[in-house]
Amino acid sequence: MVVARLAHPADFEGWREQARALAQRWVLPEDIAWHVAGEGPDLFAAMPRRDREDLRAVSVPRAFPDLAESVICHSDPGRFALLYRLLWRLQAERDLLKVVTDPDIYRAEAMARSVRRDIHKMTAFVRFREVADEEGAVTYVAWFEPEHHIVERAASFFVERFTGMRWSILTPRRSLHWDGETLHVAAGASRLEAPGDDAVEACWRTYYASIFNPARLKVKAMKAEMPVKYWRNLPEAGLISSLIADADKRTQEMVRQAPTLPPERHERMARRAPAVSAELPEEIGSLAEARIAAADCQRCGLYRCATQTVFGEGPQDAPVVFVGEQPGDQEDLAGKPFVGPAGKLFDRALAEAGLDRSRAYVTNAVKHFKFEQRGKRRIHQRPNAGEVRACRFWVAQELAFIRPRLVVALGATALQALTGKAGSLTVARELELKLEDGTALVATVHPSFLLRVPDEETKERELKRFIADLQRVGQMVPEMRRDEAA
Task: Check pLDDT > 50 for residue 384.
Answer: yes
pLDDT, position 41? 52
Length of the chain counted residue by residue: 486
Pairing state between β 360-364 and 183-187: unpaired
CB contact at 8 A, 319 and 477: yes
- Can you name the residues that pair with 364 across neighbouring β-strands? 324
264-485 CATH, one of 3.30.70.260, 1.10.760.10, 3.30.160.270, 3.40.470.10:
3.40.470.10
pLDDT band for 486, please (50, 70, 90 cuts).
very low
pLDDT, position 198? 67
Percent of the chain beyond pLDDT 90?
A: 61
Please report, for the chain, the start and end positions of each structural domain, with discontinuous segments joined by +: 2-121, 126-193, 201-256, 264-485
Task: Check pLDDT > 90 for residue 54.
Answer: no
For 419, counting Cβ atoms within 10 Å of its Cβ (0-12 exposed, 13-18 middle, 19+ buried), the class is middle
- Does pTM top 0.85 for this prediction? no
pLDDT, position 262? 62
CB contact at 8 A, 394 and 417: no
pLDDT band for 421, please (50, 70, 90 cuts).
confident
pLDDT, position 40? 59
pLDDT band for 53, please (50, 70, 90 cuts).
low
Residue (of 38, 29, 30) closest to 11 by Cα position = 38
Measure the CA–CA gap between 241 and 155, rounded to whole angstroms: 32
Q: What residue type is 269 in one-letter code?
A: M
Task: Check pLDDT > 70 for residue 390.
Answer: yes
Percent of the chain beyond pLDDT 70?
A: 91
Task: Check pLDDT > 90 for residue 207.
Answer: no
pLDDT band for 239, please (50, 70, 90 cuts).
confident
Across 117-134, average pLDDT: 88
Read off the pLDDT of residues 244-301 as tens digits, 9 standing for 90 and up.
888 888 888 877 776 666 666 566 655 555 444 445 555 788 999 999 999 999 989 9
Neighbouring CB atoms inside 10 A of 457's CB total 17
pLDDT band for 45, please (50, 70, 90 cuts).
very low
pLDDT, position 216? 79
Q: What is the mean pLDDT of the chain?
A: 87
For 66, counting Cβ atoms within 10 Å of its Cβ (0-12 exposed, 13-18 middle, 19+ buried), the class is exposed
pLDDT, position 275? 45
pLDDT, position 118? 94
Q: Which of 93-102, 176-185, 195-204, 235-244 has the lowest mean pLDDT?
A: 195-204
Read off the pLDDT of residues 25-44 as tens digits, 9 standing for 90 and up.
999 999 999 999 876 555 44
Measure the CA–CA gap between 351 and 356, rounded to whole angstroms: 7
pLDDT, position 236? 76
Exposure b/e, 196-215, CB count within 10 A at least 16 = b: eebebbebbbbbbeeebebe
Higher pLDDT residue, 469 or 423? 469
pLDDT, position 245? 87
Read off the pLDDT of residues 287-340 as tens digits, 9 standing for 90 and up.
999 999 999 999 899 998 899 999 999 999 999 999 999 999 999 999 999 999
For residue 461, give Cα distances in angstroms to 9, 42, 89, 160, 213.
33, 47, 49, 14, 23
Q: Which of 7-21, 190-204, 235-249 has the lowest mean pLDDT?
A: 190-204
Higher pLDDT residue, 56 or 225? 56
